[in-house]
Chain A
Amino acid sequence: MLNIKELLEDIKANPYKEIVIKSPHTGAVEFADIKPGDKVRGRSGSYSEKPGTLLANLTREKNRKPINAPEKGEVVNIRTELEGKFVEAGEELLTIRHFLTRKEVIELILKKALHLFRAPERAKYYFIPEVDQKLKVSGKRSVKVQDGMEMLIVSRMKRETPLAYSGPEGIIYSVYFTRGDNVDAGEPLLGICPEDQLTTIQDVVAKVQSEWDEE
């Protein structure tokens, strides 16, 4: 069984992700005006149309291409010895330390703790009436599922077929689809957690929500 508290401790001990920026192809490197400790930001704008902070330029065949920061973070080290040198593809140029945000931590925990039941095809999904009623009356944590249990209706092009749950036994922790919306194949429909872990997960998530600083 997965120890969620331990997982959280692990994350807390090391609350960031190191992103290694490698050269995408061969070329001469010129680093932008950055130094270790500088803050950089990733793509932004409502349409993520604004590129991230410029980290370096890579010139190949007189074609100068910018390398931008993929995510928000802090520059850890820069291989300044490569400045102006020709590098091979895949050469490490610099490292960015990206501090995990609250949302990312919760996602990480849930990903490890929950079993995700995914959509087999693109369609609209509904709960069967009994489950639906139970969900509405007593909330989603009240529904227990086991392998082979018929619980969803797949509705596509006016064709409705029942869909049975397959996976470990547990209770519904989260529902990822909304009524009437199309869900693509492979997208998660339900997050199932073992019954005995429910309270722990809830605790941990609440703790992260209140304590995690990085937005």
Chain B
Amino acid sequence: MDSDKRVQVLKDRLTYIEDIFGAKRVETVELLGAKFGEFLDRLPVMDHSVRVREFKQIEDLFAFVERKLETELTPMDRVRIVRHPQRICLKDILENVYDNYTEIGGRGEFNIDPSMLIARANITRRVGKKVINQPVMVIGQEKGHGEGFRNGGSAKPWGNAKALHYMKVAETENIPIHTYVSTPGSFPIEDYPGAAQQIARNLYEMATLRVPIIAVFSEGGSGGAEAVGLADRRLMFSHGYYSVISPEGAAAIEGRLRTGQRATPELVEKCAAQLGITAEDNLRNGYIDRIIQEPSLGARPEHYDFYKDLRREVVQATNEVVSSVKSMKLFRAMALKNRRRRKGSLDPESIYVRWHLSNKARGRLLEKRFQHFREMSHHAYEDGRSFWDRVKSGMEPLGWTIHSWFSYGLLRRPRKHMEDFMEEMRAEAHLVREKVVRPVRGTLQRMKVVRKKPSSRIQERAREELTRLSCPEEGACIIDDSWLWMSPRSQEDKAVSCPNARTHGCQDLWAPDLFAEFAGVCTTCGHHFPMEYEWYFYNIFNYVEATEFNADIESRNPLGYEGFELKLDQAKKRTGRKSSCVTFETTIDDIKVVVASLIAPFRGGTVGAAEGEKFILAAERARKKHYPFIAYVHGTAGIRIQEGVNGVIQMPRCTLAVRRYIDAGGLYLVLYDTNSYAGPVASFLGCSPYQFAVRSSNIGFAGPGVIAETTGMEVPPKYHKADQALSRGHIQGIWDRGEIRKNLYQALLTMGGRNLYYR
């Protein structure tokens, strides 16, 4: 290598170290800089042999400093590493890990979304004397070494839609998918297909994508990462991070900062350390399967050995996934397992596993994927159920399965035959009556042999009720429509102004009227004031007769986040509940349903491990019992950031459970109320084909403050309102509060799959 090039490489290494550690390791960096400066001064006068020696010395010094700094890396340093323009990006990986590739739908900035890169790539290798060519679909966010139009790998909704499209192509072609996650988060805009709704769609489809998916995490920022991260094997770069929120975002929330204010570096550092974002943390928690070791201070484009390791790891992971579901594997599966135990014993490239899957193997793959995610995050919540309850909850599903098998499987056909037969008979009888009995009776009546039957009293009364306008003899005609549960706010003697008073000229409303009879709806403009979750529980979901289950699954503080224990205890005391998810079985009119609801008073309805588990158990219960499954979202602020990845992993987990339920033929219906944002909307709520919102609710991915901060766009005041969401196609309808019960009942009768018990 000529000396100019070597000098340039060293210069880059120095800048890199400065950028990562700049403010913290001033002395080390300055010392290294000074040594390098001296070396550069001496360089022109050195003769060849001295030059060779000196280059070796200075390069050794750089390597030594890098190794030393490597041991002192904090989580926030890792964040800076993955975001550095010198970090390897997907293009480098495509060039160096795969043998051949064609980029699809992109030429620099001429791309529907330059931050999402799709390529059909090949892995070519020699096994024995044969050359084998294995195609894969490579999908991932591209940071492009800091190219502006790449948007730092923050994919727009249509970028995620493109990713989904090519995942489906891979499914059709029956080739594995390798995804590379390198995003600080999804770009938070609501334009169709919508940030949240598109991530939800991606998760929903990936849940049953019938090809192996291998995900490699470099920068896993929350929702954006999940859009391509639901995989059979999840690998992670040793210097990457995978987190529920960017450390800066967490610090802004923690420090209660307003828009435009910046958190102090110390606070950001502290948040990064508390969130459990590093590869080791995630491996320990079981959210990734393997760490790919990077060179000191992270992989950069010139680390060619690293590409070799990466290639070996992805090939190995794909082999493992495929061989775990294939029926014909014999010794190869053993060899693969063996390699995992003793590192370097056999090169995975020398083991050939066909990546093409049969139909049966694909089925097994999906089952394994579901189980893989189902087993995660059990350590992150507290199962406060008694021993007996746990035994019961283990046994009960068996009972439901047997019952379902009898009533909807074994006995269904004879019963159906019987019903069909009875229906035919009734039709016959009706015809006979019409054609034979009626004419005869008519003739007899005309001949006055028999008298015409007077219409019954019941019929008359019904007619009277329908045609009468008032009932003067009974006093005032009051229809009994009082609500079962009334808000405590209806006890206050005060007037309340509608927020639309300025534009709609609404009169002040008296609280006892507004919060009792009017159910919190402005009589002039129809604005819906937020109501307590109990109002819906009692007045809509018949909570009096409901059976709540799994109430003892309790939220905790799995990461030991500072001060969170106290906040959690306060929430528990205030609401009398142990998590923000309440699950119960109830009847709506005569239809039995399972309801899972997220309630806003408990930590803003945020979703953590306990909530996710309860939600999944509710979906499973609904599936086994053949009941409709309703998710009532009183309010959710997103994933609970204090639980870190334990929270964010609930996005794929719950979506998998929901997908399983829908595929089994159930009806999954979502009803949004007040404010619903972020993670849950971008996964298990947003994936429902039937989403309805109570009027005046807000639905979106990120709040106005976050949008302004990340995109620089100012958001119009009613950007997230339900009617906007409806016109963007995110939800399927808006219901008035007074009509929810009626609409819900009608929805249960008219929507949904084949597996419902009353069908």
Contacts and interface: CB of A to CB of B under 8 A. Distances in A.
Interface of A: 46-47, 49, 60-63, 65
A63 B716 CA distance: 28
Contacts of B492: 62
Q: For the complex, would chain B's binding face be called helix, strand, loop or mixed by DSSP majority?
A: loop
Interface of B: 492-497, 508, 510, 714, 716-717
Nearest to B492: A62
Contact of A62 (B495, B714, B716, B717): B495
B285 to A, nearest CB: 42
A62 B496 CA distance: 8
A49 B508 contact: no
A46 B510 CA distance: 34
A63 B717 contact: no
Contacts of B493: 61-62
A65 B497 contact: yes
B717 A47 contact: yes
B714 A63 contact: no
A61 B496 CA distance: 9
B494 A62 contact: yes
B717 A61 contact: no
B716 A61 contact: no
B717 A49 contact: yes
B497 A61 contact: no
Contacts of A63: 494-497, 508
Contacts of B497: 63, 65
Nearest to A43: B502
23 contacts: A46-B714, A47-B714, A47-B716, A47-B717, A49-B716, A49-B717, A60-B495, A60-B508, A61-B493, A61-B494, A61-B495, A61-B508, A61-B510, A62-B492, A62-B493, A62-B494, A62-B495, A63-B494, A63-B495, A63-B496, A63-B497, A63-B508, A65-B497
Contacts of A47: 714, 716-717
Contacts of A46: 714
Contacts of B494: 61-63
A-B interface, 8 closest residue pairs, ranked by CB to CB distance from nearest? A62-B494, A61-B495, A63-B495, A49-B717, A47-B716, A47-B717, A46-B714, A63-B494
Nearest to A65: B497
Contacts of B508: 60-61, 63
B190 to A, nearest CB: 16
A61 B507 CA distance: 13
A82 to B, nearest CB: 21
Contacts of B716: 47, 49
A54 to B, nearest CB: 15
B551 to A, nearest CB: 37
Contacts of B714: 46-47
A47 B704 CA distance: 13
A130 B492 CA distance: 71
Contacts of A49: 716-717
Contacts of B510: 61
A61 B512 CA distance: 12
A46 B715 CA distance: 9
A141 B323 CA distance: 84
